[in-house]
Structure 1
Amino acid sequence: MTIHVTPRRTAVLLPLLIDLGLPLAVYYGLRAAGLNQWWCLLWSAAVPAVTVLVRLVRTRRVDFLALLVLSMILLGLVLSVLTGDPRTLLIREAWTGMLGGLVGIWLLASVGYGRPALMVVFRSFVRAKAGEDGLRAWEARWEQDAAFRRGLRVLTLAWGAASLLNAVAQLAFAYLLPVDAAPAAMNLSWPVIAAPLLLFHLVYTKRRDLRA
C-alpha cells in the first residue's frame, strides 16, 4: 500500500518534526560526538530560537507570542551561560513549558464561567470549514442545545487537564531525571499525552455531533 503525503499534510508535519525532533537530534548527536552536557543543551536550546526567527522573517509579520517565546529562550540561554549548569537549561525549558500550563488553567477555569474557552479556539476552524453562516449556526447551538453545551465543557476539561499535566510533567522531568534522559522525556511528553487525547477528541466530537 502506498501512502501519499499531500502538501497540506507536509505543511502540518514539517514544523512539528522540526520543533520536536531537531532539538533532540542536535542534543544526542553532539553527545555522541563527545561534547559535554552543557554545550549540547545550549546548542539544542538554540534551535527553537532559530526556528522562531526564521518564521518571523519568512512571514514578515510580528507575532507577539513568537516574540514572547523567543525572549524567554534568549533569557534562559543568558542565565545558563552565566551559571554554566546544564540543569539550569533543563529547568529553563520546563518553565517555558509552563505557558502551556497557564493555557490549561485558562481552559479549566473557563468551564465554570459562560462559554468554555475551547469555543474561542474552535471559531477559526469552524469559520474555515463552514464559513460565516456556518459559524453563526454552530455558535447558536450553545443557547439551544444542552447536549452541545455539555459536550464542549467535557472537551475543554480534557484539553485543560492535558495541558496542565504536560506542564507538571515537564517540571518533574527537568528536576528529577538524569540530564541525558531529560531532553527526550521533555520533548516526548506532549506527543504522548496529546495522541490519545486527539483520538478521544475526534471520536467524541463525531459521536456527540459537536462539529460544524
Structure 2
Amino acid sequence: MPAPTGVSWSPCSRSRPGTWRRCDPARRPAPRRAALLPLLIDLGLPLAVYYGLRTAGVDQWWSLLWSAAVPAVTVVARLVRTRRVDFLALLVLSMIVLGLVVSALTGDTRTLLIREAWTGMLGGLVGIWLLASVAYGRPALMVVFRSFVRAKAGEEGLRAWESRWDQDAAFRHGLRVLTVAWGAASLLNALAQLAFAYLLPVDAAPAAMNLSWPVIVTPLLLFHLVYTRRHGLRA
C-alpha cells in the first residue's frame, strides 16, 4: 500500500505489511558512527597527537603534554555543546588540569604517564565497588542496569525485573556473576595502566595504556551479551 501524500512518511515507520504510521525522527536508531565517534576521539585522538608529534621530531615531554591536553579540550567542548553542568566531567577536567600543572612543574616525562595511570585508577575504584557489592546486598551492577531496563520496558517492566531478585535464585546468581566479571575487568585495567606507566618505555606506554581497556572490554562485552541472553537476565 503506498504511503499517503501530503505528510512525511518513511518505510522505517512501517509497523506491519500494508500499514504505515507517521515516522518519528526521535525513534530512529542513532547511526553507528555517532556512537563510535566519542570513542574514537577519546582513544584515538590523544594517540594520534602524541605519535604525530613524535614523528615530527617533538620530544617526549611536549608530545605527552599536548596529547594529555586533548581529553581536557574534549570535555570542555562537550560542556559547551550540551550547556549542562556535568559534575563527573568537571571532576575529570580538574584532575587532568591538576596533573598537567604538576607535570609542567616537574618537567618529568614519566610523571605525565603516571598521572594518566592514576587518573585511570578511578576505574579501579569502580571495580572495587562492584566486587564489594556482591558480598553486601544487591550487586551494584543491578543499579547500573536500572536505567537501561526502564528505557526498554518502562516503569512496570523495571518493577517486574527488580522483583525477580527476591523470587529467582538463578537471577541473583547471574547478576552476581556479571558484577564480578565487570568489577574484575575494571580493576585489571587500572592495574595494567599503572604497570604500563611505570615499566614500559615512554614511547610504547601511551599506546598500551590507551588500548588496554578496549582489549579487555571487547571479550567482556561478548560474554555479557551471550550470558544475559542465555540465562534470561534481560528485561
Give the TM-score category using the shorter length. over 0.9
CA shift, 1:12, in A, is: 1.4
Which letter maps to 2:82?
T
Number of corresponding residues: 207
CA shift, 1:9, in A, is: 1.6
What whole-Å deviation, never above 9, does each CA across 1:15-62 have from its counterpart, x for those lacking one?
Answer: 000000000000000000000000000000000000000011111111
Q: What are the equivalent positions in structure 2 for 1:57-206 lying under 5 Å apart? A: 57-206=80-229
What whole-Å deviation, never above 9, does each CA across 1:91-126 have from its counterpart, x for those lacking one?
Answer: 000000000000000000000111100000000111
Which of the pair has the greater relative contact order for Cα pairs under 8 Å at 6+ separation?
A: 1
CA shift, 1:177, in A, is: 0.2
Name the TM-score, length of structure 1 as normaliser: 0.96
d(CA) in 2 for partners of 1:71, 1:165:
25
d(CA) in 2 for partners of 1:77, 1:168:
22
d(CA) in 1 for partners of 2:123, 2:43:
15
Aligned to 2:78: 55
Which letter maps to 2:170?
A
Q: Over aligned residue pairs, what C-alpha RMSD do you find?
A: 0.7
User: Structure 1: which 5+ runs fail to align?
Assistant: 1-5
Which stretches of structure 1, 4 residues or more, deviate above 6 A after TM superposition?
none
d(CA) in 2 for partners of 1:178, 1:154:
36
Which letter maps to 2:132?
A
The structure that is helix-richer by fraction is 1
Q: Are positions 1:210 and 2:233 aligned together?
A: yes
Name the TM-score, length of structure 2 as normaliser: 0.87
What whole-Å deviation, never above 9, does each CA across 1:65-89 have from its counterpart, x for those lacking one?
Answer: 1111000000000011101111000
d(CA) in 2 for partners of 1:7, 1:59:
18
SS at match of 2:135: coil
Which letter maps to 1:171?
L
Aligned to 1:36: 59
d(CA) in 1 for partners of 2:154, 2:51:
46
